[in-house]
Amino acid sequence: VIVFSDLDGTLLDHYSYDFSPAKSTLAALRAINVPVVLNTSKTLAEVIDIAAEMQLNGPMIVENGAAIYLPESDSQVPPLAESDVRGFSRQTFTKPHAYWSSLLTEAPEEFQPLFTSFTELGIEGIKQRTGLSTEQASKAASREFGEPVVWHGNDTQKQAFMAYLRERGAAPIEGGRFMHVCGECSKGDAMLWLCDYYAKQVYNNNKVTSIALGDGNNDVPMLEVADYAVRVKSPVHAPPTLQRDGNIITTEQAGPAGWAQALTSLILPN
């Protein structure tokens, strides 16, 4: 079994970014050697800190499936294709940040007043929008792949903007607060890639059972294709709509408390 988890609104409280209600469950999963792979919109710089606090030292999926990073210190999982990237090996699934951010600066005049990119927001703007500290906000700003934007327009305008981006190879996806503009990567594709890698490289060709947990629309791609989908309740929006049949759990509690509750009932011995 491998657990794939979103952060904001899922393993981290939507408002406070606290994960203490999930601490004992994280420890219990560690004790039975079940990997917990963070699968998030956040950047590598942000995830490094959070993984350390959670005592997770395995692979992590960053920026909505844009890349997988594996610490070189992980002795269980063999290194990924690209080696020696600041202490990690890496597998990437999309073009770099400069490509997607110039797509935004070059977008037609009519769209420009309708959005503000992370680059335009700057550290102060990111802090205001997210409640992150200066240090955390500057780590959130260090995008390597996609570019988050704040959307100011209406829904019709949003559909037109997203269609414009899609025609140019982007696959925009909405997180809890921002629209993320990146290539055709997803949390689901990266998750399946990593399951396959574990099966071949770590588990002697035995199939991996995946459990995905998320609260938002950007989690749908992984919730659709995981063996078990856990929709963690959000205090701010309805649970994402899924097309799949079966093995869907919707938690009663929000955020990390719901996370812990679902994993306790799914895999931990009572």
Residues in contact with ligand 2M8 by CB under 6 A are 8, 41-43, 46, 130, 132, 140, 148, 175-178, 216
Number of other CB atoms surrounding residue 191 within 10 Å: 24
- Matching residue, tokens 């904001």: 8
For residues 152-174, one letter each, b for 16 or more C-beta atoms within 10 angstroms of the residue's C-beta and e for the rest, the string is: eeeeeebeebbebbeeeebbbbb
d(CA 184, CA 28): 35
- Residue nearer to Mg ion on the CB measure, 105 or 142: 105
Q: Which of the listed partners (ligand 2M8, Mg ion, none) does 215 bind, with a CB threshold of 5 to 8 Å by partner kind? A: Mg ion
d(CA 109, CA 106): 8
CB of 121 within 8 A of CB of 137? no
Q: Which of the listed partners (ligand 2M8, Mg ion, none) does 144 bind, with a CB threshold of 5 to 8 Å by partner kind? A: none
Which residues fall within 8 angstroms of residue 105, CB to CB, at 6 or more apart?
117
Shortest distance (Å) from residue 256 CB to ligand 2M8: 15
- Ranked by CB distance to ligand 2M8, the top (closest) residue is 175
- Residue nearer to ligand 2M8 on the CB measure, 67 or 132: 132
6 is catalytic: yes
- Residue nearer to ligand 2M8 on the CB measure, 143 or 208: 143
Shortest distance (Å) from residue 214 CB to ligand 2M8: 9
- Residue nearer to Mg ion on the CB measure, 19 or 88: 19
Shortest distance (Å) from residue 46 CB to ligand 2M8: 5
Q: Point out the residues that are catalytic.
A: 6
